[in-house]
Structure 1
Amino acid sequence: MKKWGKVSLTLLVAIILVIASACGNKTNNNNSANSEASNNAAAEASTSPEASGNSELDALKGKKVALVMQFNTGTFSSQYVEGVKEQVEKFGGSVQVFASDNDLAKMSSNLDAAVNQGFDGILIDHGQAGALEQGIKKAQAKGIKVVVFDADVKIDGVPVLQQDNKSMAELTLEQLAKDAGGKGNIVKVWVAGFAPMERRQLAYKDFQAKYPDIKEIAAFGNANNPAMDTQAQMEAILKQYPNKGDITAVWAAWDEFAKGAARAIQQAGRTEIKVYGIDMSDEDLQMIQDKNSPWVASAAVDPKDIGRVQVRTLYKEFKGEPNDPILVLNAVYVSRDALPAEQVSTTQLSQYVDGWGSSTQNYEDWMKELEGSK
């Protein structure tokens, strides 16, 4: 009995060890299989479109954009900046503004700073080719995308936006001629050295040839502190020509010029003189709607739209999509006669002026998705 008991006990222990070993192997195999399955599932999830999103659009998020401006004077410029910031932020990026106080040397330095600080893209507002081209080429060498507005820059791979400056000048000058009956004495407020001004001057020369009985009796313009300087100079001209009928109208090639001229004329009580301007902002619109103001009309592109379109053009560059070398922004004519008695803002202007605001130029379908996923 004792001998058999020992054998039985030994066999029992051995059987238990074999069973335990088999169970352990099965558990380990199951754990290993489960772990591998989990790893595979995670890998599949990370590469699936649902998990990863649109990698092309993801690459466009978080872009840092520099806006290098020749000047940021007046409400037109401030609304343009609002348009830039609004569109960049909708795309999930950020903007830093470099204002140059109408100093081309400072503008060139600001452009170099933007290049050296490693922005993803640079927007340029006005300026001259001589001050900009070297910096733009440095940006290109570093892979930084550049889009220019209203500067006479001609560099391969750099899109240039410009207002339809010739059309804007023609719209205002033709209305001036019509209102004046094709004859009279006018004052021109204009300044050289700016690409849009130079284009507007070409239309003005054509106007002079077309209407020889409309005589220019004075011409001036200063881009530094333009509204105040224009007001002071216009006051002096009004003293030089003190009689009603001496001056028929003022043609101002920039809204800041129109503001100054209109204020001088209104304060002098010479509201028989009409002012025709170019560009439009909320402040300009208030003046045009004022029935006591001599400023009766302006031709313009919505400044916020200019900023938005310039940003969209930049993001097409980021994505590697083609852009036209020159993109012309369509202008409209805004006259007091077309506006309601109650005060309106530029955001409401589309209700009264066909073609104003809400431009879809360079707005691609994928941009809607980018705006919705930031």
Structure 2
Amino acid sequence: MKSLKQSIALLLVLILSISLAACGAKPEAKQEGAAPADNAAAGAAGSLANKKIALIMQINLGTFSAQYIEGVKEQAEKLGGKVTVFTADGDLAKMSSNLDAAINQKFDGILIDHGTAEALDQGIKKAVEKKIPVIAFDADIKVPGVTVLEQGDQKMAELTLDKMSKDIGGKGNIVKIWVAGFAPMERRQVAYQQFMDKNKDVKEVAAFGAASQNTALDTQAQMEAILKKYPNKGDITAVWAAWDEFAKGAARAIQQAGRTEIKVYGIDMSDEDLQMIQDTTNPWVASAAVDPKDIGRVQVRYLYQKLHGDQTPDNIVLDPVFVSRDQLPQTQISTTQLSEHVKGWGNSEQGYTDWLKQLEQPAKK
């Protein structure tokens, strides 16, 4: 009898032990099965929700800037953030003041679009000291901890200059439209000077350019004056424009003057630019560019990496693509359709991480 009682007691202890082990295993098994990316995304979602982002722009002009801002806002909103745009209308003192205002208003992150080190360094250093991450685009900034994005400016210039040289047979009179004081322009000028040094049969007969609130219109007026100065066929073979606003103005002046023998080669791309290039009666025949929406998207991704505490490179170069009329269909398309005809356009994966893609999921539902 005693041994029976002992056996029953042992059996109860054994059953109880198995039940406890089974209960304890459930949460442990769940923990082991959780994906690291899911855990990282869940943590990021909590820490990165509702971030306020300031976009500090030197100048907001034309469709390129509009599409760039659209890319910034689109990516930020997918990640749960909100963007406020501060534009300086080309005034560097105002841009510096806008940067100070963003810092004082305690924005969570700051994006810089163009500007100079002289105008921005002090403010950027102040932001870094206050642990506000900064990502700059096309600005000559070298502050430790700040990531700077740039388009492949020299490559873009080389692509369009090489196409121009091929089209004009390596000789002729050209007009350069360019302006100093912008980091991307300075890089494009390096490629231009190298091209001119190598191509002695290409002569620069005129050069001008200024950034204003009416750049395309002002460029058109200046180009009209140059056409009157060089009225004969052959006086001007081609125009090289270092900015799409310059290309638009020059192309309109040439088209209205009926000087169809003069072709325009530009840099940058927007929906408006693409429409002009597709128009067979328009002098603008080719451009090199990075999708402006992609620029904005990539810039925001690196900002969120910094907000997450990740290390980011000091410099990031965005790869440009070359777009010419002969690549495009006869029917009008937009830049969102350009990837169907031009390899490498749009949908850049630069700056993406697995946890960032996971973080986007709630916004997509």
- After TM superposition, is the score higher than 0.5? yes
Matching of residue 329 in structure 1 with residue 318 in structure 2: yes
Task: Give the letter for the 2:152 counterpart.
Answer: D
The offset of 1:57, in angstroms, is 2.7
Matching of residue 260 in structure 1 with residue 230 in structure 2: no
Task: Give the letter for the 1:177 counterpart.
Answer: S
Residue equivalent to 2:206: 218
Residue equivalent to 1:195: 183
Residue equivalent to 2:10: none
Residue equivalent to 2:305: 316
Matching of residue 278 in structure 1 with residue 267 in structure 2: yes
Matching of residue 346 in structure 1 with residue 326 in structure 2: no
For 1:160-309, list aligned pairs within 5 A.
160-224=148-212, 225-309=214-298
Q: How many residue pairs get matched?
A: 328
Residues 145-165 of structure 1 deviation map (CA, whole Å, 9 limit, x = unaligned):
100000000011000000000
With 109-118 and 49-58 compared, the bigger mean Cα shift is at: 49-58
For 1:88-167, list aligned pairs within 5 A.
88-167=76-155
Q: Distance between the aligned counterparts of 1:51 and 1:353, measured in 2?
A: 38
Q: Distance between the aligned counterparts of 2:129 and 2:312, measured in 1?
A: 19
* Aligned 8 A contact 2:41 2:358 in 1: no
Task: Give the letter for the 1:286 counterpart.
Answer: Q
Residue equivalent to 1:22: none
Q: Distance between the aligned counterparts of 1:240 and 1:165, measured in 2?
A: 31
Q: Distance between the aligned counterparts of 2:41 and 2:224, measured in 1?
A: 63
Q: Distance between the aligned counterparts of 1:55 and 1:300, measured in 2?
A: 37
Q: Distance between the aligned counterparts of 2:43 and 2:347, measured in 1?
A: 29
Task: Give the letter for the 1:332 counterpart.
Answer: V
Task: Give the letter for the 1:211 counterpart.
Answer: N
* Aligned 8 A contact 2:40 2:355 in 1: no
Matching of residue 367 in structure 1 with residue 356 in structure 2: yes
Residue equivalent to 1:26: none
Q: Distance between the aligned counterparts of 1:54 and 1:328, measured in 2?
A: 30
Note closer, same or farther for the CA distance 1:52–1:209 as it changes in structure 2 (3 Å cut).
Answer: closer
Q: CA RMSD in A?
A: 1.5
The offset of 1:52, in angstroms, is 12
1:355 alignment partner, SS class: coil
2:175 alignment partner, SS class: strand
Q: Distance between the aligned counterparts of 1:226 and 1:193, measured in 2?
A: 15
Note closer, same or farther for the CA distance 1:239–1:116 as it changes in structure 2 (3 Å cut).
Answer: same
Task: Give the letter for the 1:101 counterpart.
Answer: D
Q: Distance between the aligned counterparts of 2:260 and 2:348, measured in 1?
A: 35
The offset of 1:275, in angstroms, is 0.1
Q: Distance between the aligned counterparts of 1:58 and 1:65, measured in 2?
A: 17
Q: Distance between the aligned counterparts of 2:68 and 2:148, measured in 1?
A: 16
Note closer, same or farther for the CA distance 1:59–1:221 as it changes in structure 2 (3 Å cut).
Answer: same
